[in-house]
Amino acid sequence: MMEICPKEQCASCYACLNACPTASIQLQEDERGCLYPVVNQSSCIDCGLCQKVCPVCQPPTLHSCKESYIAYAANHREQQTAASGGLAAVLSRHVVRHGGVVYGASAVDAFNVQHVRVDKEADLEQLKGSKYVHSKIGVLLKTLKEDLQAGRDVIFVGTPCQVAGVRGFLRKDYPNFFALDLVCHGVPPQKVLNSAIAYYCGDETSRVKSVRFRRKEEGQHSIYGLYCDDAGGQLVYGDDHPQQHYALGFMAAMFYRPNCHTCPYACPDRVGDITLGDFWDRDGKAALPAQKTDGISMLIVNTERGKKLMADVRNEIVCVEHPYTDFTRRNGQLTHPMRRHASSENFWKSFVAGGFAATESILAKHEKLVRKNILKKKIKRAIYTIPFLEKLLLMIFHKS
Ligand SMILES: Cc1cc2nc3c(=O)[nH]c(=O)nc-3n(C[C@H](O)[C@H](O)[C@H](O)COP(=O)(O)OP(=O)(O)OC[C@H]3O[C@@H](n4cnc5c(N)ncnc54)[C@H](O)[C@@H]3O)c2cc1C
Ligand code: SF4
Ligand code: SF4
Ligand code: SF4
């Protein structure tokens, strides 16, 4: 067996590695840092199991939306400390409190973001926040299956391709399994993040113990950036988008894994029982009570199991129904994959030659463009706040 699935479609979901009965599969980095499975021919027995569990070879069933809400955690602290509305934490906490187990991404080691198993409420904090990098699953799927077989409720939170990998690996439906998938732009390989941290933190790099990609201030929408903390939670380095160029490149699809640009999960039908994403109420018109600016999410319920989980936490969240068609209209990643940035190939050439530092001029050029667009939007918004001007402009555009 040479190739499990076409390399350009592989999402590095680890399903094949976990399924292989002879431990013949390793995931190895290419020159960009993207992980791909490599089969050891001498121990492979050609059983074909890796292809049976691979979601590229056997695509999973996708579910159409059953209910859709804009929502956030009723507990303000839960909302404040999450990337968006804090719903992943509410759902995870509920499962753990009832004796279940959560599998989610932790950035407690900044240089090695990975999925971990959590069965204590105190350990849930590390799962909070979106880590804008590929999270490694390792051999965790075997443990996940053991938890399911032991009858414990299990919730897996991850990107849709990871959820597809878990479903593929399990190969049957367990009634005690709950999958939460995130609306997803794409993921950069860890090598890019590590190189960026070293570039920005310089001599202080060894002090960095954890990393964050969004920050919130009371009453404000979350801000994208890169923030590196030491072991005591003190900031070693931090800056905001767009001058922070890892965040800038991430938002611009400059350095994702190649398969993200043809992602089969960037569509309205979903692989998770529940889907979570950001809801940006930019015009301030969303019909929710207080605390809107501290982060609100799209909550999309796709299965009967998702409905049950939603009903279980109904008292712990603030939510109102919202048409799914509005979500798909607002959020591009519910209808199509992110297009590769025009300078992406240049980025990679420079990165491979000299690391993140060598890509600075490419990213600085993009920053200028982003700043221009931000300014244009601000001017537009300011114009539209003057009522008679808005009417006048609407009349002109209507006539022409
Ligand atoms: C790589 C990535 C890209 C995203 N792109 C978009 C987008 O384009 N549009 C959009 O609307 N929303 C996107 N999101 C989702 C968004 O950032 C929030 O995670 C989501 O709204 C849920 O917010 P929350 O406050 O409930 O949970 P959070 O506090 O954000 O918790 C997030 C949960 O996601 C899991 N998680 C965090 N990082 C990763 C990772 N790297 N890989 C797998 N699982 C992870 C954690 O286990 C945790 O349980 C993305 C998330 C990630 C991780
Ligand atoms: S064919 Fe079987 S033994 Fe060979 S790599 Fe795949 S799962 Fe492992
Ligand atoms: S199972 Fe996942 S990691 Fe393995 S080849 Fe398929 S997509 Fe890649
Ligand atoms: S864009 Fe698609 S392939 Fe890439 S990480 Fe997200 S779900 Fe996976």
Both ends of the chain: CA-CA distance in Å?
Answer: 62
Per-residue pLDDT, averaged over 171-175, amounts to 97
Q: Mind listing the pLDDT tens digit for each residue in 211-244?
A: 999 998 766 678 999 999 999 999 999 999 999 9
Query: Mean pLDDT throughout 287-292?
Result: 63
Compute the Cα dihedral for 344, 349, 352, 358 and give only its sign.
negative
Lowest-confidence segment of 105-119, 156-170, 383-397 by average pLDDT: 383-397
Residue 84 — pLDDT band, cuts 50, 70, 90? Answer: confident
Looking at the structure, do residues 268 and 327 belong to the same domain, yes or no?
yes
**Predicted confidence band of residue 393 (pLDDT cuts 50, 70, 90):** low
How much is the pLDDT for 342? Answer: 97
- Res 171 pLDDT > 70: yes
Say if 389 falls within a structural domain. Answer: no
Closest-lying ligand 2 atom to the alpha carbon of residue 48: 1
Residue 384: the pLDDT is 59
DSSP code at position 336: S
Q: Are residues 322 and 278 in the same domain?
A: yes
Which residue, of 15, 30, 53, is where some domain finishes?
A: 53
- Give the 3-state secondary structure of residue 214: strand
137 and 31 share a domain? Answer: no
pLDDT (0 to 100) of residue 294 = 77
Residues with CB under 6 A from ligand 3: 4-5, 10-16, 37, 54-56, 165
84 lines ligand 1 (CB under 6 A): yes
pLDDT above 90: residue 276: yes
Residue 85 lies in a domain: yes
- The percentage of residues in the chain with a pLDDT greater than 90, rounded to a whole number, is 84
- Tell me if 82 is assigned to some domain: yes
| Paired tokens of 221 | 């929408």
Residue 29 half-sphere exposure toward CB, CA atoms < 13 A: 11
Question: Which residue's CA is minimally distant from atom 6 of ligand 3?
Answer: 54
User: Does residue 349 share a domain with residue 325?
Assistant: no
Q: Is residue 399 part of a domain?
A: no
Range of the domain at 294: 67-187+256-334
Do 110 and 220 belong to one domain? no
Residue 273 has pLDDT above 60, yes or no: yes
Rounded to 5°, angle at Cα 17 from 191 and 131: 35
Sheet with 101-106: strands ordered across: 114-118, 101-106, 154-158, 177-182, 274-278, 297-301, 67-73, 317-321
Ligand nearest to the CA of 126: 1
- 335-368 residue pLDDT tens: 999 999 999 999 999 999 999 999 999 999 999 9
What single letter denotes the amino acid at residue 308? K
317, 179: one domain: yes
Does residue 387 sit within a domain?
A: no
Spatial neighbors of 233 by CB under 8 A, at least 6 apart, are: 210
Range 291-320 average pLDDT: 91
- Read off the pLDDT of residues 20-31 as tens digits, 9 standing for 90 and up: 999 999 999 999
Mark whether 287 and 151 lie in a shared domain.
yes
Which residue minimizes the CA distance to atom 2 of ligand 3?
A: 13
Q: Is the dihedral of CA 352, 356, 357, 362 positive or negative?
A: positive
Measure the CA–CA gap between 134 and 187, rounded to whole angstroms: 5
Q: What average pLDDT does range 42-63 have in this prediction?
A: 98
Q: 288 pLDDT exceeds 60?
A: yes
Residues with CB under 6 A from ligand 2: 1, 19-20, 22, 24-25, 39, 44-50
Q: Does pLDDT of 142 surpass 60? A: yes
pLDDT band at residue 83 under the 50/70/90 scheme? confident
Share above pLDDT 70 across residues of the chain, in percent, rounded to a whole number: 90
34 and 114 in one domain?
no
Length of the chain as a residue count: 400
What pLDDT is recorded for position 397? 60
Residue 278 and residue 158 in one domain: yes
pLDDT band at 309 (very low <50, low <70, confident <90, very high): very high
Residue 186 alpha carbon to ligand 1 centre in Å:
11
Judgement on whether residues 269 and 302 belong to the same structural domain of the protein:
yes
pLDDT at 173 over 80: yes
pLDDT higher than threshold 60 for residue 400: no
* Beta-carbon count within 10 A of 3 CB: 12
Going by pLDDT thresholds of 50, 70 and 90, the confidence category of residue 282 is: low
**Count of domains in the chain?**
3
- Name the nearest CA neighbour of 249 among 217, 278, 226: 226
Is any ligand 1 atom within 6 A of the Cβ of residue 297? yes
**From the CA of 299, how far away is ligand 1's center (Å)?**
12
Closest Cα to residue 13, out of 52, 63, 53?
53
398 part of a folded domain: no
Q: Where a domain ends, among 334, 361, 392?
A: 334
Same domain, 152 and 282: yes
159 lines ligand 1 (CB under 6 A): yes
Residue 379 predicted with pLDDT over 80:
no
Is 83 part of any domain?
yes
What's the pLDDT score for residue 340? Answer: 98
Per the domain annotation, does 352 fall within a domain? Answer: yes
Does residue 106 sit in the same domain as residue 125?
yes
Q: Which ligand is nearest the CA of 258, by number?
A: 4
What is the predicted pLDDT for the residue at 386?
64
CA of 56 to the centre of ligand 3 (A): 7
Q: Does the pLDDT value for residue 122 go beyond 90?
A: yes
396 pLDDT above the threshold of 80: no
The pLDDT value recorded for residue 392 is 64
Q: Which residues line ligand 4 (CB under 6 A)?
A: 11, 159-161, 184, 186-187, 259-260, 263, 265
Pocket test for ligand 3, best of 4, 24, 29, 44 (most atoms within 8 A of CB): 4
Q: How far is the CA of 264 from the centre of ligand 4 (A)?
A: 8
Distance 346 CA to ligand 2 centre (A): 37
Strands 177-182 and 274-278: parallel
Question: How far out from the chain centre does Cα 95 lie?
Answer: 21
Q: Is the Cβ–Cβ distance between 19 and 169 less than 8 Å? A: yes
Residue tagged 């990337």 (tokens): 83
